[in-house]
Structure 1
Amino acid sequence: MIGCLVGAGPAGAVEISFWTNLTTASQANVIQKQIAECSAKQPGLAVKFETVPFGSMYTRLITAMRKNDAPNIMNTLEGAVAFMQAKGGLEPVSDLVDELGRSDFIASYLNAVSKNDKIWGLPDWALHQEVWYRKDLFAKAGLKVPRSWDELLQAAKALNQPAADGGQARFGFAVPMGRSLVAPQTYFQILYSAGGTVFDPTSGEYVFGSQKPLAQKALAFMIELYKAASPPASLEWSWAEYRTALIKGQVAMANEWGAVVQMAAEQNPEMLDKFDVFPFPGPSAGKKPVASLGGGYYYLVGKSTPDKVDASKKLLRCFYEPGRVAERANSRPIFAIPATKSAFHSDMFQANDTVKRFKPQLDVIFNEVMPTWYRYGLEAGLSPITGQIEATSFVGDAIQNAALGKLSVEAAVDQIDEQLRFQLEVLAR
């Protein structure tokens, strides 16, 4: 955990606290630099900056809120936005969004943190999931970009290659199913492509249980793809394992967040020119995928005294100059993509060497993936059910048991539905 005081002032100066979950030095250092730049524009403002690891964030938040000492500004994921809003710990930022220009923000990122006709977080940069694949292997096999689940399955099978002459086997598509986080992410990417959701995006009603045939179809396809074209060990894989497999040539395709670029640059640079992307397809070739799994990092303003709220919002106005948004995204290029159009198209973002190298892929992601995404439970705006899904493993347990044949697909979906309903009942108490 890094903690420091940025800026100073006379006795009685306003001091605000600023937390971020971004503990990677390259990202935290840019945020700290921008705090110094923007706090200098508010004479007398002091900012206490801390990096708070995601694993300890909720514990610290609960403790801080009990003491009426929650952070004045927080940089975190949408699940934490939902958690703090449900606890009454946030100030809405609708005024900031309108002041900065609502149309500049990609609408899907505002929708995810909206509730009661208010916006509770400023979108900063996008988490995005699409298929990263080996275009050299596609060309060699004469394959085209898949436009349906069946075409994806057939392409994955075609790219399977058994080990020969002491070499390694290659699998067509990584289907990771680590119980915590990864299995739900893999499953909901498939479900969203077919139009399934936890909540109805328009009415906000719980609909997963009424969509069981579609939910079963998505899970059956996921398991079929796993058995046909994914390493058996991927049943327990998390992010590091499938990214490593992709950059080492052990798999030809994977649903991925873009972090594989930095890993490849560090561990196997010759792989970079072989990567390309396409949106995860929907069930039918005649219809584009309805949505994808995504997410993002946001800036929140904690409920506090009027002077601290005002100082926090002034600091964030400065943070949202397009060049600064782009600079933050470039601290982890490709994995992080600006959630504002002005920052994405800015010279600061587009001049980055990695961005220039992956411009065709970024254009696909920005134009075809980022505008239509959901995070499980946030399809109709903020809901604390997202945090419950991510803090437990009931979705992953059901998926793994179905993949191992311990549960039927129907029973696994029933189990997920039962647990979702239970979590909603707990949250309603």
Structure 2
Amino acid sequence: MKLRLLAGVSALVAVAGLSACSSSGSDDGDPGSGGKTAIDVWLMRDSVSDAFQKEFEKGFEAAHPDIDVRVQVQEWDGIGEKVTAALASNDAPDVIETGNTQVAQLAQSGGLLDLSDKVDELGGKDWLKGLAEPGAWDGKQYGIPYYAANRVVIYRKDLFAKAGVDASAIKTREQWIAATRKLNKGAEQGIYLPGQNWYTLAGFVWDEGGDLATKSGDTWKGTLDTPEALRGMEFYQRLQALGKGPKDSDEAQPPQAEVMAKGQVAQVVSTPGGANVVLQNNPALKGKLGFFPIPGKTAATPGAVFIGGSDLVVPTVSQHHDAAYTFIKELTGDAWQKKLAVAMSYVPNKTTLASAVSGDPGAAAMAVGAPVGHATPNTPGWAAVEAKNPIKDYMTAVLAGGDPAREAKKASEAITSAMNSGS
């Protein structure tokens, strides 16, 4: 997913008429590449830097002199339609980076190669579940986890010190509430949390053992009205009330990083990249921003988070399955994952690699929560939910004084209708 905003994925047009292929496809040399097998790779804007791309291509081709890699950087805007068209053509790239929650729609169409037989070889037992699970569809693995990002708490070190609050001591949600109340005595806002930050709500719901929707047989059902999900909303309500965030908009309206930059806001919930936006708007805060993982219900487990990020997939129509897999194996392997994480401040695709970002405060905070991260319900029908997003309306209604149980039931019914009509 697009990491800077971790935005929801737009609905993709279904691709029909594509037949599945075996992952043992043959690779013929490309005469235009001196007898090498030339593979085309689509990577998304900002997934790698120019320097990392050059380093990887040089290292990869030195290790695999029979493969010529041709990387094309794609823009996020309009990528859904572009990938759909590519999969339906006979001229698709050999490897595509796609948002982790997009894989189900692409796989359902028959447009992606089944890579289930490669999971063990790729160290799949250590993959982040929030990347691996949405990369699977109907019991088969189509998307190979590439990198991840998730929300953390960005805080003002100066305001915490002034209030006598030690961020490193905040390990539970109740400690977070207590600290935020204390911060309110000296800051304009102890926390800025807009009313429709539904990804943050989802984390609290997962903490309580609930979910946004569950599947029974072939039918999905919205579950915001369960006792577990209602407890998650109750905590969100308590935390949101400790700031002055609007009840009827999300973190982009107004941009919460700009709000933090302008005033005495002690905390926001964001991906670490939000700190860069704060500094762009207020350079005087350089050195004053810190990060800590979203706290959990108990100190033993960090708070659940929504995992955004990307998987790598191979189109069935690719003529170079073996070379494409070799590329994926290298880029998602331990050596290059460590380098990518350091270069781009991402969370590596495996829980065993978290130490690679120990020197990056923002990425290190993300890495703490990533192992308990989740993705949205793994079904093409979820795109229909995000198109209208009744979760946002539900949150605003509750924060404005509506009965939580009644509003949750309405939202759950809307989710059920959207998921099953959009499947």
**TM-score interval w.r.t. the shorter chain?**
0.7 to 0.9
Structure 1's 370 and 239: CA in aligned 2 closer, same or farther, altered over 3 A? farther
**What code does the residue aligned with 2:312 have?**
Y
CA contact (8 A) 1:292 1:374 kept: yes
Distance 1:427 1:61 in 2: 19
Match of 1:422 in 2: 417
Matches within 5 A, 1:195-274: 195-199=209-213, 206=220, 208-209=222-223, 211-232=225-246, 235-238=249-252, 241-247=255-261, 250-263=264-277, 266=280, 267-268=282-283, 270-272=285-287, 274=289
Q: CA deviation at 1:84?
A: 1.0
Q: Encode CA deviations 1:104-127: one digit per residue, 9 max, x unaligned.
A: 534553234234443222212221
Length-normalised TM-score, structure 1 = 0.76
Q: Which range moved further: 318-327 or 189-198?
A: 318-327
* 8 Å contact kept, 2:331–2:337: yes
Alignment check: 8 A CA contact 1:175 1:222 kept: no
1:18-37 alignment to 2 at 5 Å? 18-21=41-44, 23-24=45-46, 27=49, 30-31=52-53, 33-35=55-57, 37=59
Alpha-carbon distance between aligned partners in 1 of 2:95 and 2:307, rounded to the nearest angstrom: 23
- 1:17 aligned to which of 24, 28, 40: 40
More helix by share: 1
1:318 and 1:422, CA in 2 relative to 1: closer, same or farther beyond 3 A?
A: same
1:319 equivalent in alignment to 2:331: yes
CA contact (8 A) 2:351 2:371 kept: no
- Partner of 2:359 in structure 1? 356
Aligned residues of 1:157 and 1:229 also touching (Cα < 8 A): no
Is the aligned partner of 1:63 residue 2:78?
no
Task: Count the aligned residue pairs.
Answer: 391
Equivalent AA in structure 1 for residue 246 of structure 2: P
The residue number in structure 2 matching 1:300 is: 313
The root-mean-square deviation of aligned C-alpha atoms, in Å, is: 3.6
The correspondence of residues 10-409 of structure 1 with structure 2, limited to 5 A, is 10=33, 14-21=37-44, 23-24=45-46, 27=49, 30-31=52-53, 33-35=55-57, 37-39=59-61, 41-42=63-64, 45-143=67-165, 145-146=169-170, 148-160=172-184, 170-177=188-195, 183-199=197-213, 206=220, 208-209=222-223, 211-232=225-246, 235-238=249-252, 241-247=255-261, 250-263=264-277, 266=280, 267-268=282-283, 270-272=285-287, 274-282=289-297, 288=301, 291-305=304-318, 307-333=319-345, 336-340=346-350, 343-345=353-355, 349=356, 356=359, 358=361, 362-363=363-364, 365-366=366-367, 368-377=368-377, 382-405=378-401, 407-409=402-404
Secondary structure of the 1:74 match is strand
Task: Give the C-alpha shift of residue 196 in structure 1.
Answer: 1.3
Kindly tell me: are residues 32 and 420 of structure 1, through their superposed partners in 2, closer, same or farther at Cα, counting changes over 3 Å? Answer: farther
Give 1:150 shift. Answer: 4.5
Contact 1:193 1:280 in 2 (8 A): no
What displacement does 1:17 show?
3.1
Gaps of 5+ in 1: 1-6, 163-168
Question: Could you tell me the percent identity over the aligned residues?
Answer: 19
